[in-house]
Chain A
Amino acid sequence: MSVSSCRHRRRTEGPGWTATQRRLHWWIAALIGIGFCVAPLMVAVPLRALLAKFLLYQLHKTIGLTVLALAAARLVVRARHGRPAPDATMPAWQRRAAASVHAALYALALITPSFGYLTAATAPAQVPTLFLLIVPVPHVIGPSPAWYPLIRQLHRGCAILLVTLGLGHAAAALRHHRRGRPTLLAMWRG
Chain B
Amino acid sequence: MNQALASLARMLGRGTLALALTIAAAGPAGAGGLAFSIDQRYGTIGFAVEHLGLFSSQGRFGRFTGTLDIDPAHPKRTSFRIVVDTTSIGMPWAEATAMLRSPDFFDVARYPVMSYRSASVTPLPGQHYAIAGVLDIRGVARPQALDALLLDRRIDPRRHVETAEFAVTGRLKRSDFGMVTNPLFISDTVTLNIHVRIELPTSPQD
A positions within 8 Å CB-CB of B = 47-51, 54, 123-128, 130, 143
B184 within 8 A of A: yes
Q: Please tell me the size bucket of the interface on B.
A: 10 to 19
Do A124 and B93 have beta carbons less than 8 Å apart? yes
* Separation of A56 and B93 alpha carbons in the complex (Å): 18
Q: How far is the CB of B99 from chain A (nearest CB, A)?
A: 5
Write the chain B residue with the least CB distance to A58.
Answer: B54
Cβ distance A60 to chain B, nearest Cβ, rounded Å: 17
DSSP majority for the B interface? loop
Given contacts A127-B55, A128-B55, A130-B54, is CB(A50)–CB(B182) below 8 Å?
Answer: yes
Contact A125 B93 (CB under 8 A): yes
Q: A47-B182, A54-B185, A124-B94 are in contact. List 7 more A-B contacts (CB 8 A).
A: A47-B98, A49-B182, A50-B185, A50-B186, A54-B52, A128-B54, A130-B54
Q: Name A47's contact: one of B54, B95, B184 (CB within 8 Å).
A: B95
Tell me how many residue pairs across A and B have CB atoms closer than 8 Å.
Answer: 35
Question: In the complex, which residues 49-105 of chain B have their Cβ closer than 8 Å to any Cβ of chain A?
Answer: 51-52, 54-55, 57, 92-96, 98-99, 104
Bound CA span A130–B55, Å: 11
Is B175 interfacial (CB 8 A cutoff)?
Answer: no
Chain A residues with CB below 8 A from B92, complex form: 124-126, 143
Bound state CA distance, A50 and B182, in angstroms?
A: 6
Q: How many angstroms from the CA of A122 to the CA of B128 in the assembled complex? A: 39
Let me know if B127 is at the binding interface, CB within 8 A.
no
B181 sits at the interface (CB 8 A): yes
Q: Which residues of A contact B57 (CB under 8 A)?
A: 126
Which residues of chain A are near B185, meaning CB under 8 Å? 50-51, 54
Asked whether, in the complex, the Cβ of B96 is within 8 Å of the Cβ of A51, the reply is: no
Query: Which of A48, A123, A128 touches B181 (beta carbons < 8 Å)?
Result: A48
